[in-house]
Structure 1
Amino acid sequence: MNSPHLSCWIIVNGYLQHTKFSDLALFIKEAAVRKGLSADIIRNSSLMPMIEDGRPVLRGSFTRLPDLVVFMDKDIALAKHLEMMGLPVFNKSSVIETCDSKAKTHQALAACGIPMPKTIFPPFTYEGVGRTDLHLFTKIGQTLGYPLVVKEAYGSFGQQVYLIHSEQELQERVMELAHKPFILQEFIDTSFGKDIRINVVGDQAAAAMKRTSANDFRANMTAGGKAEPYTPTQEEEELAIRSAQILGADFAGVDLLFGKNGPLLCEVNSNSHLLHLYECTGINVADKMFDYIVKEFRR
């Protein structure tokens, strides 16, 4: 599906200088060009969103605005600003905001019958105001049982996820996290060191891989996990697609756990690392993303 008259911006974070991020941006740009789009990689640090005379405007070194935006960052304010200016943004700012928070993701899916681990949301506290009363966490430990999992609401690549084995360890972790938002979940022992990543585009499962780790309860590749191509079951595929659609995602990397009675939703990533998936499966999901994006734009 070629679209020679369309231009797009691929928004990335200007402060993340690691090659894995720049390689991903180039990978996505190459897919856009293959589909006939004029594509530019734009750093969020080069743009100045502002309100002037009561309306949203954008300042920067660009000469013209694009027809559409592929947003590969978590700068939610910028994504929202571009939408306010009338630009089609993939994924929308609301999707990025929900997926960026594990707490918001689980709550958004909670009323929709999506199977997921038992999840508890601890009470909010303010920065500088410690959690001095830990009695509730004793009850949480009793409710979930040990080991249990503590996940910071904001984190990527399996980082900020902790396996907790005792009440003392839980209290120490809670005190260490201080005011940071987090969730607590039951530990799914049938999924120790293994999970499934299914990349969804529109209403299709575009590619999938199984990740495993021999020495870590997390299967993320950045935590030492290894990946292999995977053919999901119909139940797994339907769960991944439905979860992404409920959240309104145009595309997403959906992580599933191996539950005792079937797959469980782990998390939904609005921007997943497509290079790992391509290296594992040989499937270029970025190509499928632009087929979908152009179709939606034309609609």
Structure 2
Amino acid sequence: MADYQAWIIYNGNLSEEKFIELASWIDTVAKSYSITTKLVKNNHLLPTCSDTGPTLVGYSEPELPHFVIFLDKDVLLAKQFESMGIPVYNNANCIETCDNKSLTFQVLAAHGIPMPKTILAPFVFHQHQDYTPFHQAAKALGFPLVLKEAYGSFGMQVYLIHSMGDLLQKINELGNRPFLLQEFIASSKGKDIRLNVVGNEVVASMMRISSTDFRANVSNGGEMLTYDPSEEEIELAIKSSQLVGADFAGVDLLFSEDGSPLVCEINSNAHIKNIFDCTGINVASYIVPHILQKYKEHLK
């Protein structure tokens, strides 16, 4: 009989194979460690709050899991598990920080992590009407600059802005969606590296290159190459992952003009199929034993 029971939470609203595949890979490895698992769609569980305490509606199991492997960005659901005393990996604070790029850079900047110069847009409820801050930001960053929506995946909410007119047009299109403005790193145009960090170790890495887009994401047509990271890159990826509280993460690094690394993004639920196709390394085989060991330490 298995010693532990775990739920693997994944996005129930996205039917693409890559989302289900990530959960399936984790599930397969977990079973090899005699963990009884259940794959659960996040939208099949309803966090419920009342004067009797936090509960969940939508499950029919006789008992809740010992711990949860969380492969989604549903922060409120993750927080609900934690408020019920169930450990979550990655934890809710990590998910929240990584999902919001502005929060990510605030955390990293407080610890001197090298990154592109970044300016966070003012918060608005409806629409930006005072454009003075953006003229100041453009002066500080220069053109072209990068505009990133605070929430987004696969490079789909990242835009290269070439002029003040383009910037104001994009700001108007975004309405009240939060975003940040960032220095464009020309030396890393269409090129970055992805390092998968688990605990205190970089377990897999690859370079991504695009000849047609300033973004190197594979989803946008980027090519994958095997890559042997430097000690500086490894240390930066591990430190950045730990600063956001991740047990496992995909850390994306850019190349500055002198070749030194800059943090571009940290993904708390990075997909691992592409890096497996590139390197032959199944990152899930590192994630599961790390979580299991951490849970055992939690019990002490």
Distance 1:286 1:150 in 2: 32
> Cα distance, 1:205 vs. partner?
0.5
Q: Residues 224-274 of structure 1, C-alpha deviation per residue, up to 9 Å, x if partnerless? A: 001112111000000000001011111100000001231000010000011
User: In the alignment, what sits opposite 1:246?
Assistant: 243
User: In the alignment, what sits opposite 2:81?
Assistant: 82
> Cα distance, 1:170 vs. partner?
0.8
User: In the alignment, what sits opposite 2:37?
Assistant: 39
User: In the alignment, what sits opposite 1:122?
Assistant: 121
Tell me which of 258, 267, 281 is aligned to 2:265. Answer: 267
Deviates more, 1:39-48 or 1:227-236: 39-48
User: In the alignment, what sits opposite 2:148?
Assistant: 151
Aligned AA for 2:165?
A: Q
Distance 2:62 2:227 in 1: 44
Does residue 184 of the first structure (1) align with residue 198 of the second (2)? Answer: no
Distance 1:50 1:177 in 2: 32
Q: Does the residue aligned with 2:128 lie in a helix, a strand or coil?
A: coil
Superposition TM-score, scaled by structure 1 size? 0.96
Any conservation in 2 of the 1:46–1:61 contact (CA below 8 Å)?
no
Q: C-alpha root-mean-square deviation of aligned residues, in Å?
A: 1.2
Q: Residues 47-83 of structure 1, C-alpha deviation per residue, up to 9 Å, x if partnerless? A: 2321244311223222321111000111111100101
Distance 2:139 2:3 in 1: 60
Distance 1:70 1:203 in 2: 18
Show structure 2 runs of 5+ residues with no match.
none
Distance 1:27 1:70 in 2: 12
User: In the alignment, what sits opposite 2:290?
Assistant: 292
Distance 2:64 2:47 in 1: 13
User: In the alignment, what sits opposite 1:112?
Assistant: 111
In the TM superposition, structure 1's runs of 4+ consecutive aligned residues that sit over 2 Å from their partners are: 51-54
Distance 1:110 1:210 in 2: 24
> Cα distance, 1:10 vs. partner?
0.3
Aligned AA for 1:258?
A: F
Aligned AA for 1:63?
A: P
Tell me which of 1, 4, 13 is aligned to 2:2. Answer: 4
User: In the alignment, what sits opposite 1:256?
Assistant: 253
Any conservation in 2 of the 1:198–1:253 contact (CA below 8 Å)?
yes
Distance 1:100 1:92 in 2: 12
- Identity in percent: 49
Q: Residues 24-62 of structure 1, C-alpha deviation per residue, up to 9 Å, x if partnerless? A: 211111111122211110112222321244311223222
Distance 2:105 2:82 in 1: 25
User: In the alignment, what sits opposite 1:95?
Assistant: 94
Superposition TM-score, scaled by structure 2 size? 0.96
Q: Residues 177-220 of structure 1, C-alpha deviation per residue, up to 9 Å, x if partnerless? A: 11110000000000000001000000100110100001100000
User: In the alignment, what sits opposite 1:217?
Assistant: 214
Tell me which of 10, 24, 27 is aligned to 1:26. Answer: 24
Any conservation in 2 of the 1:56–1:84 contact (CA below 8 Å)?
yes
Q: Does the residue aligned with 2:55 lie in a helix, a strand or coil?
A: strand
Distance 1:89 1:275 in 2: 23
Distance 1:144 1:225 in 2: 26
Does residue 201 of the first structure (1) align with residue 203 of the second (2)? Answer: no
User: In the alignment, what sits opposite 2:52?
Assistant: 54
Any conservation in 2 of the 1:91–1:251 contact (CA below 8 Å)?
yes
